[in-house]
Structure 1
Amino acid sequence: MSPISRATRAALGASVVALTVVVATACGPENTDPVAAPTAAATAGTTDKPGAAPLKLPSVDELKKWNFDDWDKWAQQNVITPAVKGYWDLQKILKAKPYKPGPGGQPTAQPTAAQPTGAAPTQPPAQPTAQPSRPAQPTTQPPGDGGNDPQPKLIEEKPVPHPFAKQYHVNGKLFFQKGSEEYVCSGTVVSDPANPGRSNLVWTASHCLHGGKGGKYHTNITFAPAFNSTGALSGGKQGSLAQAEPYGEWGAVAGMIAPQWAGEADPENGGPWSQYDFGILRVANPDGSGRSLEEVVGGSVPIWFNAPRDQITAVSSYGYPAGKPFDGMELEHCDSGKPARRSMDPARPTMLMIGCNGTGGDSGGGWFTTKDGKQVLVSDTSIGGSDNTWEAGPYLDDVAQHALDYFSKKSK
């Protein structure tokens, strides 16, 4: 099947891009985050100070060896504009449009569910032109199975019942503006290693933050935890924004992703950069108080980095899909078994893949499993099939862990 990056999907469900380190500067919520370096002039994220040469994009091997100072240097050359408080209203959310992608290629060697790994693959159907589009995979594949398993059995998404039980309040909807258009993704409140019990961190996909190689950062990036928990907007109901957002809108003030995304990614087409398609956001309390996001929603999810694949025996993915047959108002989940493997570059961490019919808008949503009897996050929704029968997310290895560790310690 053709992996198509969940960059553009249906109204309320398009998501594009990602970035490397986003640091707030100007208007919007007051920024007291120590991560924010004096880099306002570096609006394109290419230099760490006016007139400075851009940092060289590290190779995959170099990236794996980055230390705190390397991440710090990378962080200082990337900035975002903080979300404008009150920018998002219900009308904007309901009128969000799908992103219109350019042409995408089709894979030539992807195993299917009916084939054993290594069998001669069949060509997947062409992408429907009327479907909310997502980036397609490149036209080349590594030799052999290249770290690719047959497509897993399809699992139908199911909505979380209203009102959400407390453990689901860590899931939320992520809004952002790309140019003059509005789009959405999904995200998860994750634990902050340097600030236990007081996390303001949201995990999502990198393509939900930035336009990739040559692109610009999205603006007005905002997180709404437990969106529509009460069901006020379900089934065509005309509820209010206050009813749909029990914890309000938490605007982004800083963030980070792997440099491979910002330096390589074509968000219209899945590729090896998708294997690093993760993003981290720091958000601000909309009431201006010092209460953290974790304290307000009642919890956060630890991240299990370098999880032994044989110990990930089952995953559940969560998000707000908006492409048909979904409308973006429900928190949906796919409860899958052991994830399969998905890879475009064997030198990079092989992605996790599940059978799931999610559509646009679920990008960045958390993938959960159980460790020592507790819920932990092991991935986020990144790419998926053109026929919406499977999804894949990045395997979170040392690179993802070092990014979070830097971001957490720098902002303590």
Structure 2
Amino acid sequence: MRSTRTPAAPRHGRRTRNFLTVTGLVCALALTATACNGSDEDTAGDKPAAGSSRTAPGKVKIPAGVADKLREHGIDVDDWAAGGWKDWDRDKWLSDAKDFVNPVIEGLWKPERMQSAKEANKTLSTKDAAADQGLSDPEPAPVEATAEKTPYHQNAAPVGKVFFDTPEGPAVCSGTVVKDVNHPGRSNLVWTAGHCVHAGGNGGWYRNIVFVPAYNDLGKSEAQLADASAAEVAPYGNWWVDWASTSNGWIQGGSETGGTGAAYDYSVLHVKPESGAKSLEETTGALDVDFSAPSATEVATMGAWGYPAAPPYNGLKMFKCLDRPGRFSLSTSLPTMYRIGCTMTGGSSGGGWFRVVDGRTKLVSNTSIGPTDNTWLAGPQLGQDAEALYENMSKTYGGR
């Protein structure tokens, strides 16, 4: 639903809660170990790392394999870095799963450019949203999104924003750091929506994709951010995507309103820091992914986290919604999606949905589509196809 143009939560602690607290459902779905007993004040020795230094815009460091892939498509690496990536001609807009390239352009994503990024809604008309009511549960009542507590690095460090460039300009989504089954404790994997990295059936891969965990850590206003330090805007720095995977269902069937690809609208990203050697999980913590694809009737509550950017929100603060999920069907030929009441708007696309499994918070879906009146969100079930995508990413790229 809301994505940025293809179209946002992370944690400072190392572990999710392993028990249900008595302080309410929000604590049961805590995204960090300190989320329910931390304060809004930072504590000594628990401050986010300073933002990494930046080199002049346009300076590029590209692994040989990536440079070779660019050349295979007739793209000059230096020209690409100097602005050639802005060429969105069909013959230059790489679309196949194997064609993803995302060379690091250090200094490109400055705070002011991040703030200029626009959401890319994946909204349905009232008629489309009524899709297949024979399989869909009644439309849920709207649930007003509530602001996440600050600082985000203590309450939702694994959640962040995914920035990228599209033919229409800079865009933004949400994403979540997830664990890497083959590289325990050292994951560099981020979960988001497929439409946050690929345009679907009528386009290709987006460019200059970056993940910023715990963006705007203190939840400052636009006026306050004008004087904010780099560490306050991006407390853990920028993490460039060096490989992205999304489903064939999204690549082939995704559209401006989600299309038949909405039921497969998920993506796994592998990232690396602009500087530093620690993994993303060592930096922010990470969450497990639940691929059991439980029926909506089996789950009492799901929570969605993200950075809504379309009015009445402005994309600067993290919000969340908690609700009992229902079923949403676009077609009898497509997998049923989850649906919850939620007022988050575009920009929240790709943000993780969580549930408690055996006392542990796990990612179970991500925001994909929603209606034009912003009363609910729908996300894909993560079953065998999603698990295969994740496993392949882990085995092929996880150790890089």
TM-score (norm 2): 0.75
Counterpart amino acid of 1:281?
Answer: L
Structure 1 32/41 Cα, relative in aligned 2: closer, same or farther at 3 Å?
closer
Distance 1:330 1:304 in 2: 26
Counterpart amino acid of 1:15?
Answer: R
Name 1:55's counterpart in structure 2.
none
Show the 5 A alignment for 1:108-257: 110=130, 141-142=131-132, 145-164=133-152, 166-179=154-167, 181-233=169-221, 236-238=224-226, 239-257=228-246
Identical aligned residues as a percent: 36
Name 2:260's counterpart in structure 1.
272
- Checking the alignment, whether the CA contact within 8 Å between 2:355 and 2:364 is kept in structure 1 is yes
Pairwise CA distance, 1:29: 5.2
Distance 2:292 2:396 in 1: 22
Distance 2:393 2:68 in 1: 16
- Checking the alignment, whether the CA contact within 8 Å between 1:84 and 1:251 is kept in structure 2 is no
Show the 5 A alignment for 1:371-390: 371-390=357-376
Name 1:89's counterpart in structure 2.
110
- Checking the alignment, whether the CA contact within 8 Å between 2:129 and 2:371 is kept in structure 1 is no
Match of 1:295 among 282, 285, 308: 282
Structure 1 322/275 Cα, relative in aligned 2: closer, same or farther at 3 Å?
same
Counterpart amino acid of 1:313?
Answer: A
Pairwise CA distance, 1:41: 5.7
Distance 2:368 2:351 in 1: 9
Distance 1:344 1:274 in 2: 9
Query: Which whole-Å deviations, capped at 9, do the CAs of 1:59-90 have from their partners, x for residues lacking one?
Result: xxxxxxxxxxxxxxx85x32222341211112
Structure 1 39/333 Cα, relative in aligned 2: closer, same or farther at 3 Å?
same
Counterpart amino acid of 2:383?
Answer: D
Pairwise CA distance, 1:109: 7.4
RMSD over aligned Cα atoms: 2.7
Secondary structure at the residue paired with 1:321? coil
Name 2:10's counterpart in structure 1.
none
Secondary structure at the residue paired with 1:94? helix
Report the count of equivalent residues: 325
Q: Does 1:315 align with 2:302?
A: yes
Distance 2:121 2:288 in 1: 35
Secondary structure at the residue paired with 2:6? coil
Distance 1:315 1:37 in 2: 42
Distance 1:410 1:146 in 2: 41
Pairwise CA distance, 1:346: 2.6
Pairwise CA distance, 1:31: 4.1
Name 2:23's counterpart in structure 1.
none
Segments of structure 2 that go 5 or more residues without pairing to the other structure are 8-58, 75-95
**Larger helix share, 1 or 2:** 2
Name 2:328's counterpart in structure 1.
342
Name 2:352's counterpart in structure 1.
366
Name 1:69's counterpart in structure 2.
none
- Checking the alignment, whether the CA contact within 8 Å between 1:85 and 1:251 is kept in structure 2 is no
TM-score (norm 1): 0.73
Secondary structure at the residue paired with 1:368? strand
Query: Which whole-Å deviations, capped at 9, do the CAs of 1:94-118 have from their partners, x for residues lacking one?
Result: 22245599x97652672xxxxxxxx
Distance 2:369 2:175 in 1: 15
- Checking the alignment, whether the CA contact within 8 Å between 1:29 and 1:284 is kept in structure 2 is no
Name 1:405's counterpart in structure 2.
391
- Checking the alignment, whether the CA contact within 8 Å between 2:118 and 2:309 is kept in structure 1 is no
Counterpart amino acid of 2:172?
Answer: V
Pairwise CA distance, 1:32: 8.5
Pairwise CA distance, 1:168: 0.6
Counterpart amino acid of 2:246?
Answer: I
- Checking the alignment, whether the CA contact within 8 Å between 1:342 and 1:392 is kept in structure 2 is yes
Distance 2:327 2:337 in 1: 6
Distance 2:311 2:267 in 1: 26
Pairwise CA distance, 1:40: 3.8
Secondary structure at the residue paired with 1:274? helix
Counterpart amino acid of 2:352?
Answer: G
